[in-house]
Amino acid sequence: MNIDELKLVAAAIVAKQKGLLAADESSPTIKKRFDAIQLESTEENRRRYRELLFTAGGIERYISGVILFDETLRQSSSGGIPFVRLLSERGIIPGIKVDKGAKSLALYSGNQITEGLDGLRDRLAEYRQLGARFAKWRAVIQIDECELPAPYAVHANVHALARYAALCQEADIVPIVEPEVLMDGKHGIERCEAVTSQVLKSLFEELDAHRIAFEGILLKPNMVIAGLKCPSQPEPRQIAEATVRCLKRYVPAAIPGIVFLSGGQSPQDATANLSAINELGPQPWQLSFSYGRALQAPVLDAWKGRDDSKVKAQEVFFKRCRLNGLARDGTYTESMEGN
């Protein structure tokens, strides 16, 4: 493990005003996104869409890295430039999703476990050779008002995250460790805080037991928010206070950065909440974004698969990148949405 290189890559990912684009939708997930704009999910359409994102003007000011899916890591632009090279030449670091998705946890109905550890050492060696400098593994934690998640499901998921993180560090790849407590359901913000706390506490115990160098990883958590169907929805300030309180209790200061997932929040909410979180700073870690839907939903809507709306879609994408860049230092306001 080359800890100096891991530290450099992690620091570059969470550089001032910058964060990650999560464009690593697996084939079934991107099909869902394309279905919503009535676009067929062919390999060529997926390539065209990723090219639109990766070639948008000016995004390198706010986007430090992109998480790619295996297929995309091997694709090229219409001009024949491999995406990995195209991104690297813009100063954007290529990363790779390495988990194989969340499946039902046997005998623990309602809980899920992420698969993908078998063969991971060999896959990481290949990904590193292809140019990936960081990786992502997403654990999915189901939550309800009292029974979910089962403590054993939390344990199984954080154990898998720690094994993944160790293999990444061994391969000189920065692991992004993503334990996502879902926002589906009616639970309130207090329940989300309790479950997120429990997950982060056992995650860092497990990472420590696996001898992970905390200085060379990034954490990708959910924000502490209420379930989507909860009748009482907290304001950004309350979300920010609960999120920072929870992180301060359970995340070691040695971690260089925390990059939030958007998890189904609207693009505006994800930006406003990140800005409110940063307004409470400074904190021991950089607090940034690694958004999928919150960066891409308006882009897909503007594009709809049409060549003549590509430029407009790229402008929409740049705007979301810029606003999240401002949220990195807490200077975003809702009035900027109109510009």
The set of catalytic residues is 178, 220
Distance CA 278, CA 272 (A): 10
Beta carbon of residue 261, minimum distance to ligand 13P (angstroms, whole number): 4
Tokens representing residue 279 in the block: 């307004």
Question: Binding to ligand 13P by residue 138, rule CB under 6 A?
Answer: yes
| Range 247-266, binding ligand 13P (CB under 6 A) | 261-263
Closest CA to 141 of 170, 114, 118, 175: 114
CB-based contacts of 235: which residues, under 8 Å, 6+ apart? none
Beta carbon of residue 135, minimum distance to ligand 13P (angstroms, whole number): 12
Question: Binding to ligand 13P by residue 299, rule CB under 6 A?
Answer: no
Beta carbon of residue 288, minimum distance to ligand 13P (angstroms, whole number): 12
Closest CA to 158 of 196, 109, 131, 110: 196
Question: Binding to ligand 13P by residue 94, rule CB under 6 A?
Answer: no
Cis peptide bond N-terminal to 221, omega within 30: no
- x/- letters, 161..190, toward ligand 13P (CB under 6 A): -----------------x------------
Question: Binding to ligand 13P by residue 292, rule CB under 6 A?
Answer: yes
Beta carbon of residue 98, minimum distance to ligand 13P (angstroms, whole number): 12
Q: Which is nearer to ligand 13P, 137 or 204 (CB)?
A: 137
Rule CB under 6 A: choose which of 294, 300, 302, 326 binds ligand 13P: 294
Beta carbon of residue 26, minimum distance to ligand 13P (angstroms, whole number): 10
End-to-end CA distance of the chain: 46
Instruction: Work out whether the CA dihedral 223, 289, 172, 284 comes out positive or negative.
Output: negative
Tokens representing residue 333 in the block: 């306001």
Distance CA 296, CA 271 (A): 13
Q: Which residue has the CB atom at the shortest distance from ligand 13P?
A: 292
Q: Which is nearer to ligand 13P, 94 or 292 (CB)?
A: 292
Q: Which is nearer to ligand 13P, 135 or 189 (CB)?
A: 135
Indicate the burial class of 130 (C-beta count within 10 angstroms; 0-12, 13-18, 19 or more): middle
The footprint of ligand 13P (CB under 6 A) covers 22, 138, 178, 261-263, 290-294
